[in-house]
Amino acid sequence: MADAPERRFLFDGDARSARPGETLLGALGRGELPRLQRSIRYHRPRGPVCGVGYCTGCLVRVNGRPNVRACRYVPSDSDVVTTENSWPSPRFDVYGIFDYLFPGGIDTLHGFRRPAWATRLYHRVIRRLAGYGNAPDPATASRCPPPVRTASVEVAIIGAGTSGRAAAARLVRAGTRPLVLDRALAIDPVPGADLAAGTTVTFLPPPGPAGFTLLGFEEPDRGVEVHARRVIVATGSYDASLLFGGNDHPGVFTADGALAMRDAGGRPPFRRAVLVGGEGRTDTVLAQIPEYVDAVVAPGPIQPGLTRRASEEEIPLYPRTLLVCANGRSRVSSVDLRSRGGGTRFSLECDAVVLAHRRLPNSPLFFQAGARMEWRAGTGAYFPALNESLETTAPGVFAVGSAGGFGPAESARSGEHAAAAISGAATDPTPLPRVPADGPSELEGYYRELWREPRAGKWIACPCEDVLLTELEEASRRGYRGIEVIKRYSGLGTGLCQGRYCLPDALLVLSLLEQRPPPGVGYITQRPPVVPTPLAAFAALDATPEAR
Amino acid sequence: MTPLGRSSYRVVVVGAGIVGLYTAVHLARAGAGPIFVVDRGFLSSGASGRNGGGVRQQWETAATVRLARESVAAYRRFGREFGYNPWFRQGGYLFLAENEPELAHLRRVHGLVTSEGLPSRILTPEEVARHIPGLAEGSVVGGAYLGTDGTLYPFPAVWGVYEAARSLGVEVALGVEALGVDAPDARLRAVLTTAGRVETTAVVNAAGGWSAEFSRRAGLSAPNTPTRHEILATEPMKPFLDPMVARLSDGLYFSQTMRGELVGGLTMRDGVGTEAGMPSSPRFLKEMSRALVRLVPRLGSLGVLRAWSGFYDDTPDGFPLIGEDPRQKGFFHANGFGGHGFMLAPAASRRVAHAVLGEATDLDPNLFAPGRFLDPHRSLPVERLQLG
């Protein structure tokens, strides 16, 4: 591959190149932090956060197509890539003036009502601020409709991670040829199984008489429809975000994002990160990029194994510490911390914050399929209720791996277990422990303490839609209760990530404001599609009643 | 359950959607007395929080045009009246005709609308294309356009009337279901709810998709049918499309919201009844996407962000039921809006309030009276411009 030619493309008019297979984000980063975006309402500087195709930090326009995620796009020769939602550039954006002009936020619910004659002007300005990119260029239309991929299989496995692969291998042994679908642009083969890489299942409705219909797309816009008798959901988990002042500044990453950008660029786009978390995921990050971590800050206690590793690397530890805010503007330059229980507030210089404090299941498909979900307070997330075959209450939908609440040690075995149950084979009687249903919720107490901190600047409760924490508080003060109403009141969770990043913390915040446990606050209906799916992909699929 | 502030009310309104809350506001402003609003869900959980936000004055009958025109005026001043900005943007409503009979239909509508003093226009295909950048060539033979129609963002309108109602002393109990009425003789005595018995002599059925069910619970047959309609929103874009676009043939409609999303749906008559809830279907996502991409091919690469559904409360003749039920004194209807309750709410709810207060309304009883369906020999106009 070393001799393969580089792909040459234009980025905002400059000639750039990408190695074969390298993503656009990797090619634009190469160990630095690329500036690609401004936020939707206040035009705050934003950088890539999640690295796995959910956040809005790396949206660019490619060949006239808006909102392409640079982390999921492999450039071709003569691609034309431009930045969106900023003028003249993401580094200096004139519209950023709105962030300064409205330090307390723009109140579009109550503001801009007077005088009546200014209505049209208000509409023009506010409409102009909304949206990321322009409508697709007319020239992009010629590629429609794209081809489709359809399949009819006995078992579809969504996710080609450890548990999904284990399930696939076990099914193959039992004589079934499963179809494994995964978002990853490239996946290693599973002998005897069919694979669909770069394919995202975005809609898993409850089964009909003939079984399941899965809808999705293959990058960039090929429609995918799979009919399956049974579905194993092995969608894994992701690193959660955290609320603090300046939590949306460039340089704040999830652990997923930091590692993905390290993989893409050869080294991470930072030198001196503050790593947040005190458990296994933090240990994983520390094991992989210790020389780029300056300190470990944990909301709760720090596990002994992590302590040992950190001391070997001479990295200072701050257990039971509040991350109050990240400072800097165009990039994180320091963080303010305070020891929990009323310690003194202090600062650490850094050029990144890496969030590895909790992992959450990728669960929207379970909700869509109609499976009964159970709140597990220790994780602060919903997991599907499962029977001994690891089948959810939606008959035919099985949950394995971390999406099903199984830890790394049980991941492969959970996949084999579900596959064996589907095959009618004997299953391993050894119990499969899941994440505990109860347990201390470190973050609930953490946020209670963080609430007492004086706040400066905007705290962004929902980065996709630039919803401020103060807007949630205002809604609550006015008597609106429950996440479904707060979502409609504030717009929280209605952006491109559909609540994946903001919802888990919003539940805890509302639990404090409404003085009831998080399940009492409710949950946002997980609407299809899970991630934005091109109209062309759905349009190309057969809509005749037989194909339903 | 919310404990009741008192045991007896002048009026109980069933349904805290835009129609029920607006009615409560009109009643409270008229000094009707203690008012109680119950809703089985949370605020905006029904069609008031699920609609596409269209407000149009182009209809087939003068009576509806007038109600719509009054509602447009109400939404124009809504922000100053209620303290919440619904972002009512008068970007116009553009009806598309794909063949000459449809265009003739639009011409008739245009004739009526202009005779009511509204400046609607018949457009050539070229003029239509100027309103819809990227319209597929040859996809229309013409259109009808009224620039003062528009779209709004439904949620702030709900919050506005909700807070106005509360500040006028109206009690609103959310998560409380109306189970029926107690009317042992000709007189209404009480409404029965999951929060207990509520004494009253007047109940307003503004339950939207669930209104036929509540009528039946009160022992009254109802002509309305709840029909599930689906809708989707795309990723937000910079301003691209000004008018709400609606097509006669399949009920395709879409507009670009203030937030930049394209929001729209089309008619699929296969979801009757509320029992199955409000799911989305693969078929809708495919049909809607196909209709949109065929009409405006450049949109193909745009992502569908989310899809949801809600209930139209359809009547056989396309007119709502407004007024007292002739079979049960004290039982008032404010339902059957057929997916157009939001756009007609300000004007329609004012008539409901008048009826409750025993005042005469200006509504043609042949079109709006709830009892019109009781006459088996009835042969009266039908409003067919129901879309989406």
Q: Residues 6 or more apart from A97 whose CB is under 8 A from it? A: A43
* End-to-end CA, chain A: 43
How far apart CA B310 and CA B168 sit, in angstroms, is 30
How far apart CA B229 and CA B244 sit, in angstroms, is 18
* End-to-end CA, chain B: 35
Give the Cβ contact number of residue A124 at 10 Å: 11
Partner-chain residue, chosen from A67, A537, A540, that has the shortest CB–CB distance to B235: A67
Q: Residues 6 or more apart from A238 whose CB is under 8 A from it? A: A50, A52, A54, A254, A256, A359, A360, A362, A500
Least confident of A39-48, A427-436, B325-334: A427-436
- Residue A264 confidence (pLDDT): 86
Backbone angles phi, psi at A537, to 5 degrees: -65, -50
Backbone angles phi, psi at B42, to 5 degrees: -95, 170
Cross-chain Cβ contact A528/B307 below 8 Å: yes
pLDDT grade, residue A127 (50/70/90)? very high
Largest interatomic CA distance in chain A: 75
Buried b (16+ CB within 10 A) or exposed e, A171-182: bbeeebebbbbb
Residues of A whose CB is below 8 A from B234: 532, 535
Nearest to B51 by CA among B158, B124, B179, B132: B158
As given in the structure block, the two tokens for residue A511 are 């639990």
As given in the structure block, the two tokens for residue A539 are 């349009």
Largest interatomic CA distance in chain B: 64
State pLDDT tens for residues B37-79. 999 999 999 999 999 999 999 999 999 999 999 999 999 999 9
Give the Cβ contact number of residue B329 at 10 Å: 15
Partner-chain residue, chosen from A136, A489, A496, that has the shortest CB–CB distance to B302: A136
Q: Mean pLDDT across the stretch A510-539?
A: 95
Nearest to A384 by CA among A335, A420, A435, A348: A435
- Residue B388 confidence (pLDDT): 55
Q: Is the Cβ of B163 closer than 8 Å to some Cβ of chain A? A: yes
Partner-chain residue, chosen from B238, B298, B306, that has the shortest CB–CB distance to A133: B238
Residue A548 has pLDDT above 70, yes or no: no
- Residue A143 confidence (pLDDT): 56
Partner-chain residue, chosen from A130, A539, A542, that has the shortest CB–CB distance to B300: A539
Cross-chain Cβ contact B305/A112 below 8 Å: no
- Residue A3 confidence (pLDDT): 62
pLDDT grade, residue A145 (50/70/90)? low
- Residue B3 confidence (pLDDT): 56
In angstroms, how far is CA B307 from the centroid of its own chain? 19
Give the Cβ contact number of residue A453 at 10 Å: 15
Residue A547 has pLDDT above 50, yes or no: no
Nearest to B106 by CA among B60, B139, B55, B68: B60
Q: Mean pLDDT across the stretch B19-35?
A: 97
Cross-chain Cβ contact A498/B258 below 8 Å: no
Query: What percent of chain A is predicted at pLDDT more than 70?
Result: 98
Residues of A whose CB is below 8 A from B243: none
Q: Is the Cβ of B289 closer than 8 Å to some Cβ of chain A? A: yes
Q: Is the Cβ of B129 closer than 8 Å to some Cβ of chain A? A: no
Residue of B nearest to A41 (CA): B259
State pLDDT tens for residues A69-115. 999 999 999 999 999 999 999 999 999 999 999 999 999 999 999 99
What distance in Å separates residue A101's CA from the closest CA in chain B? Answer: 20
State pLDDT tens for residues B344-385. 999 999 999 999 999 999 999 999 999 999 987 777 778 878
Nearest to A5 by CA among A24, A22, A26, A20: A20
Q: Is the Cβ of B177 closer than 8 Å to some Cβ of chain A? A: no
What distance in Å separates residue A97's CA from the closest CA in chain B? Answer: 18
Residue A441 amino acid letter? S
Residues of A whose CB is below 8 A from B297: 138, 141, 144
The pairing of strands A273-276 and A293-297 is: parallel
- Residue A418 confidence (pLDDT): 98
pLDDT grade, residue A546 (50/70/90)? very low
- Residue A31 confidence (pLDDT): 86
For residues B91 and B243, is the Cβ–Cβ distance under 8 A?
Answer: yes
- Residue A528 confidence (pLDDT): 96
Residues of A whose CB is below 8 A from B277: none
Least confident of A145-149, B186-190, B231-235: A145-149
In angstroms, how far is CA B204 from the centroid of its own chain? 16
- Residue B255 confidence (pLDDT): 98
What distance in Å separates residue B376's CA from the closest CA in chain A? Answer: 36
For residues B263 and B306, is the Cβ–Cβ distance under 8 A?
Answer: no
E strand intervals along chain B: 8-9, 11-14, 35-39, 54-55, 93-97, 121-123, 142-146, 150-151, 171-174, 178-182, 190-193, 196-200, 203-205, 225-234, 244-247, 253-256, 262-265, 303-314, 321-324, 331-335
pLDDT grade, residue A544 (50/70/90)? low
pTM, two decimals, is 0.96
Q: Hey, of A127, A368, A514, which one would you mutate to test binding to chain B, going by the most B CBs within 10 A of its CB? A: A127
Q: Is the Cβ of B272 closer than 8 Å to some Cβ of chain A? A: no
Residue A545 has pLDDT above 60, yes or no: no
- Residue A439 confidence (pLDDT): 74
Residues of A whose CB is below 8 A from B280: 203, 205, 527-528
Please write down the long-range contacts of A85-93, taking CB distance under 8 Å and 24 or more positions apart: A85/A37, A85/A38, A85/A40, A85/A43, A85/A59, A85/A131, A85/A132, A85/A133, A86/A37, A86/A38, A86/A43, A89/A12, A89/A35, A90/A35, A90/A36, A90/A37, A90/A38, A90/A45, A91/A35, A91/A45, A91/A330, A93/A38, A93/A43, A93/A45
Partner-chain residue, chosen from A111, A528, A545, that has the shortest CB–CB distance to B85: A111
Q: Is the Cβ of B111 closer than 8 Å to some Cβ of chain A? A: no
Q: Residues 6 or more apart from A431 whose CB is under 8 A from it? A: none
What distance in Å separates residue A275's CA from the closest CA in chain B? Answer: 32
Q: Is the Cβ of B269 closer than 8 Å to some Cβ of chain A? A: no
Q: Mean pLDDT across the stretch B139-163?
A: 98
Residue of B nearest to A113 (CA): B79
How far apart CA A90 and CA A101 sit, in angstroms, is 18
How far apart CA B66 and CA B58 sit, in angstroms, is 10
In angstroms, how far is CA A156 from the centroid of its own chain? 23
Residues of A whose CB is below 8 A from B18: none
Q: Residues 6 or more apart from B287 whose CB is under 8 A from it? A: A543, B266, B268
- Residue A142 confidence (pLDDT): 64
Q: What is the DSSP letter of A434?
A: B
Residues of B whose CB is below 8 A from A225: 282
Q: Residues 6 or more apart from B4 whose CB is under 8 A from it? A: B36, B171, B173, B195, B196, B198
**DSSP letters along B57-69, please?**
---SSHHHHHHHH
Give Cα separations from B40 to A432, B5, B190 (angstroms): 41, 18, 18
Q: Is the Cβ of B285 closer than 8 Å to some Cβ of chain A? A: yes
How far apart CA A107 and CA A113 sit, in angstroms, is 11
CA atoms within 13 A on the CB side of A2: 0
How far apart CA A528 and CA A364 sit, in angstroms, is 9
For residues A237 and A362, is the Cβ–Cβ distance under 8 A?
Answer: yes
Give percent helix, percent strand, percent coil of chain A, each to the nearest 5.
30, 25, 45
What distance in Å separates residue B373's CA from the closest CA in chain A? Answer: 34
In angstroms, how far is CA A313 from the centroid of its own chain? 30
The pairing of strands A334-339 and A321-327 is: antiparallel
Cross-chain Cβ contact B308/A133 below 8 Å: no
Q: Mean pLDDT across the stretch B307-313?
A: 96
Residues of B whose CB is below 8 A from A140: 298, 300-301
Residue carrying structure tokens 């084979």: A425
A–B: how many Cβ contacts below 8 A? 198
How far apart CA A172 and CA A279 sit, in angstroms, is 35
State pLDDT tens for residues A14-46. 999 999 989 999 999 988 999 999 999 999 999
Q: Hey, of B78, B81, B285, which one would you mutate to test binding to chain A, going by the most A CBs within 10 A of its CB? A: B285
State the Cα torsion B283-B289-B295-B297 to the nearest 10°.
Answer: -140
Three-state SS string across B334-376, please? EECCCCCHHHHHHHHHHHHHHHHCCCCCCCCHHHHCHHHHHCC
- Residue B364 confidence (pLDDT): 93
Q: Residues 6 or more apart from A363 whose CB is under 8 A from it? A: A235, A373, A381, A382, A383, A384, A403, A526
Cross-chain Cβ contact B238/A145 below 8 Å: no
Buried b (16+ CB within 10 A) or exposed e, B206-239: bbbbbbbbbbebbebebbbbbbbbbbbbbbbbbb
Cross-chain Cβ contact B283/A109 below 8 Å: no
Cross-chain Cβ contact A535/B308 below 8 Å: no
pLDDT grade, residue B277 (50/70/90)? confident
Cross-chain Cβ contact B85/A108 below 8 Å: yes
Q: Residues 6 or more apart from A305 whose CB is under 8 A from it? A: A283
- Residue A247 confidence (pLDDT): 96
What distance in Å separates residue A137's CA from the closest CA in chain B? Answer: 6
Residue carrying structure tokens 């809607």: B288
Partner-chain residue, chosen from B259, B282, B287, that has the shortest CB–CB distance to A130: B259
pLDDT grade, residue A329 (50/70/90)? confident
Give Cα separations from A484 to A375, A470, A490, A491, B41 (angstroms): 17, 17, 10, 10, 11
Q: Is the Cβ of B92 closer than 8 Å to some Cβ of chain A? A: no
Q: Hey, of A535, A541, A544, which one would you mutate to test binding to chain B, going by the most B CBs within 10 A of its CB? A: A535
Q: Which of residues 26-85 of B touch A (CB under 8 A)?
A: 42-45, 49, 76-77, 79-80, 83-85
Cross-chain Cβ contact A131/B260 below 8 Å: yes
Residues of B whose CB is below 8 A from A215: 282, 285
How far apart CA A405 and CA A385 sit, in angstroms, is 10
Instruction: Name the β-bridge partners of B232.
Output: B264, B307
Handedness of CA B300, B301, B305, B306 (dihedral sign): positive
Residue of B nearest to A205 (CA): B281
For residues B236 and A132, is the Cβ–Cβ distance under 8 A?
Answer: yes
In angstroms, how far is CA A17 from the centroid of its own chain? 27
State pLDDT tens for residues A168-177. 999 999 999 9
Partner-chain residue, chosen from B76, B85, B286, that has the shortest CB–CB distance to A543: B286
State pLDDT tens for residues B99-140. 999 999 999 999 999 999 999 999 999 999 999 999 999 999
What distance in Å separates residue A7's CA from the closest CA in chain B? Answer: 23
Query: Residue A387 burial by CB count (10 A; 0-12/13-18/19+): exposed, middle or buried?
Result: exposed
Q: Residues 6 or more apart from B387 whose CB is under 8 A from it? A: B246, B247, B248, B251, B253, B267, B339
Q: Mean pLDDT across the stretch B287-296?
A: 96
Nearest to A260 by CA among A132, A70, A82, A533: A70
As given in the structure block, the two tokens for residue B8 are 């007896």
